Structure 1
Amino acid sequence: MPAVPHYRRWFNYIGGSTSSPSSYIYSPAAPSCRNGSSLCAVYGIYIPDISPGINIPGGATFSANMQNYISNLFSTGLAQPTGVLIHTIYVYGKS
C-alpha cells in the first residue's frame, strides 16, 4: 500500500483535550501568538482527505514529542521546543 502524503500545517486550539485532534481547527496562516501559559496553536501533521470537509490534524492523537512540547509550554510559558539549535517551533502559547 502506498504511503499517504502528509504535511505540517498550523492548527489553532479551540478548547477541550489538548491531545485530541478534534480540539483544533486548521489555520491557513501562522499564528500571531508566540509565548504564554495557555495553548494557542500547534504545527501538526495534516493528512489530506482524512476527513473530507473537516481539516483536523491527522492521527488519533499527537505524538509523544508533541504532547511533551504542550506540557513544557504549560510549565514554562515559552513556545516549544526551546534550545539553541531548534529550527522549528511546534507549539505556541498565549497569555
Structure 2
Amino acid sequence: LIYEAGDKAIRFVMHRKIASSYCSGPENCDGNNPIEEIKITLGDCDILLTEKIGDCPMEELKAINLIADESYALQPIEKSVFEATKKYFFEKEELQRELG
C-alpha cells in the first residue's frame, strides 16, 4: 500500500505488488533475490513500514535511501503512516526551528 503523507494528513495513493516479497535465505529463493524487485518497486518511496525485516535487506534499502521501520508492526496502517512521517520528517524540522 502506497500512501502520500504530510504534516497534517495522509492519502492512499495505490497498491503495488511484489512477486516474491519474502526470502529466508539464498537456499530458499530459487536463485532469485527479491530485494532487487523490492528496491525497484519501492524506489520512489521514503519509508517502508513492515512487520519484520532482516539486517541485510534493511541495509540494502538504506543504500537507496529507503527507511525500513518495524516499530509500527500490527498497528493501524493509517495512524502508523502518519506517525512515521512525523517521526522521520516533521519532528526533525520542528526541532531545527526550535534550535534556530
Shorter-chain TM-score range: under 0.3
Give the strand-richer structure, 1 or 2: 1
For normalisation by structure 2, the TM-score amounts to 0.27
Q: Which has the higher helix share?
A: 2
| Structure with max Cα Rg | 2
| Structure ranking higher on relative contact order (CA contacts 8 Å, 6+ apart) | 1
TM-score computed with the length of structure 1 as normaliser: 0.27
